[in-house]
Amino acid sequence: MTPDVNERFSVAGQRAIVTGASSGIGRAIAERFAAEGADVAICSREQDNVDPVAEEINESDAPGECLPIECDVTDREAVAALVETTVEEFGGLDCLVNNAGASFMADFEDVSPNGWKTIVDINLHGTYHCCHVAGDALAADGGGTIVNFASVAGVQGSPKMSHYGAAKAGVINFTSSLSAEWADRDIRVNCIAPGLVATPGVASQMGITAGDIDRTAVDRQIGRSDEIADLTQFLASPASSYMIGETVEIKGVPRIGEGGGD
């Protein structure tokens, strides 16, 4: 008998960690998971940044609980504490969403060694730390899912983003490699590569907010955080059970014809 479709897409009852969840995409994912009945631990480098998010979720009608934890994903001991606290509070771990990231735009010759290291540490090494620490907890109760976050900049490159694109390309390859290794642990690993999304950071840099986005037409070049949450929920749910090691680009209308000619 085919399972109920709604159940296939459900994350109800899951225990999840979402990194970088103080705003934007991470916050939208945390809100979605809690609304769907998952208990979710959220983290940011500053406790004051995640406390209001958790408070709002816990005071809402969402059936899931939200636990705010201060954690810098580049700090191995802090990541270990994040996973340990989550498992102690929720009784286990079913899903890890590696959303924490950082970027800045600069010509390659202006990217200092420290700037390069900072971006790679947060985006690539942070993803490594979280997966490496959380693996045993995810495998303990019959397996789970990992959703890593890359970027279209890691797929095809982007001017003034060499450092960020290189780190995100590493995340994509890491996802493919880890998915093959951990399949026998019943841990499914996939990756999301978003294009431009109307996050608070984009709003401050470009003046574009989610409210400015027209969803009455298919021709679209910028996304909303809740649309990224849709895909994240899918990858964390049984509905994506046949997807392993994939990187899914979510970027709107393909810009065909922008490539070079013969």
Active site (catalytic) residues:
164
Q: How far apart are CA 246 and CA 149, in angstroms?
A: 11
Q: What tokens were used for 222?
A: 């910028």
Give the span between the Cα atoms of 201 and 207, in whole angstroms.
Answer: 9
